[in-house]
Amino acid sequence: MSSTVHDRNRWTLTPDRADLRRPARPPRSIELSALPQDLSLDLERAALLIVDLQNDFCHPDGWLASIGVDISGTRAAVETVAAALPAVRAAQIPVIWVNWGNRPDRVNLPPNVLHVYDPAGDGNGIGSPASSLSTAVLEAGSWGAAVVDDLTIVPEDIRIDKYRMSGFVDTPLDSALRNLRVDTLLFAGVNADQCVLATLMDAANIGYDVVMLTDAVATTSPSYCLDATVYNVRQCFGFTATAADLVKTL
């Protein structure tokens, strides 16, 4: 798919002419059950964004588990995404992994971001050792920042490191999506009420169509946080559907 991805936004060049017309991409329409309304989608203009399904958040040897957080709820999202990926890739929908992957020196992280993960200032947050496997919490290139062991990235997938709750702040995500000629974003990952929601809100605010796949998101927060998130996505930002219905439709 990599050549197809790059071909989505290109000029045709000869020594004496630049043809600025982009390649024609006939619509590939599907009908998807969703709330608050059913959707008609063009797969040629869609992408799947998978947020923070990484070892530090979702693996029993990762950072959250090491500090006593119950990560069992994340398993459903991991399993749902694993089941959906073959159909998504077969449909040539770009798969974009948006994960925390911080600089080792943390020079681009303001104090409020560091505080979220180390509220007492004990030095146990981003960049600190977390377990025998996670050498540096959420640090780019570390085991903890890698996509959770249960999931596989293929060469055609796209990886974006993020440094905030939102995957759009200080990252090339928006540029990548615009070069892919994408309008509609399908959201999966964790935590639904935190990084998934922050990324979804920013996407909606800059004009993307957003759809949260409710069986492909999860959170370690109390259940009422997820309830409020789903309500607000439908009420304020876009739509909710399920990965199961998407796969069935594909």
Span 142-169, pLDDT tens digits: 999 999 989 999 999 999 999 999 999 9
Beta carbons of 100 and 52 less than 8 angstroms apart: yes
- Tell me, yes or no, if 162 is annotated catalytic: yes
The catalytically annotated residue of 52, 157, 202, 215 is 52
Beta carbons of 32 and 209 less than 8 angstroms apart: no
* Cα–Cα distance measured from residue 206 to residue 177, given in angstroms and rounded to the nearest whole number: 12
Tokens of residue 73, six digits: 């709820």
The catalytically annotated residue of 58, 161, 195, 202 is 195
The predicted pLDDT at position 1 comes to: 45
The catalytically annotated residue of 58, 161, 162, 209 is 162
- Tell me, yes or no, if 56 is annotated catalytic: no
Q: What digits encode the pLDDT tens for the residues 69-127?
A: 999 999 999 999 999 999 999 999 999 999 999 888 888 888 888 888 778 777 777 87
Counting residues of the chain whose pLDDT is more than 90, the rounded percentage is 75
At 20, the amino acid letter reads L
* Cα–Cα distance measured from residue 64 to residue 66, given in angstroms and rounded to the nearest whole number: 5
- Tell me, yes or no, if 248 is annotated catalytic: no
* Cα–Cα distance measured from residue 63 to residue 100, given in angstroms and rounded to the nearest whole number: 13
Q: What digits encode the pLDDT tens for the residues 171-199?
A: 999 999 999 999 999 999 999 999 999 99
Tally of residues, the chain = 250
Domains of the chain are 33-249 (3.40.50.850)
Torsional class of 151: left (φ above 0), alpha (ψ -120 to 50), beta (otherwise): beta
The predicted pLDDT at position 77 comes to: 97
Q: How confident is the model at residue 8 (pLDDT cuts 50, 70, 90)?
A: confident
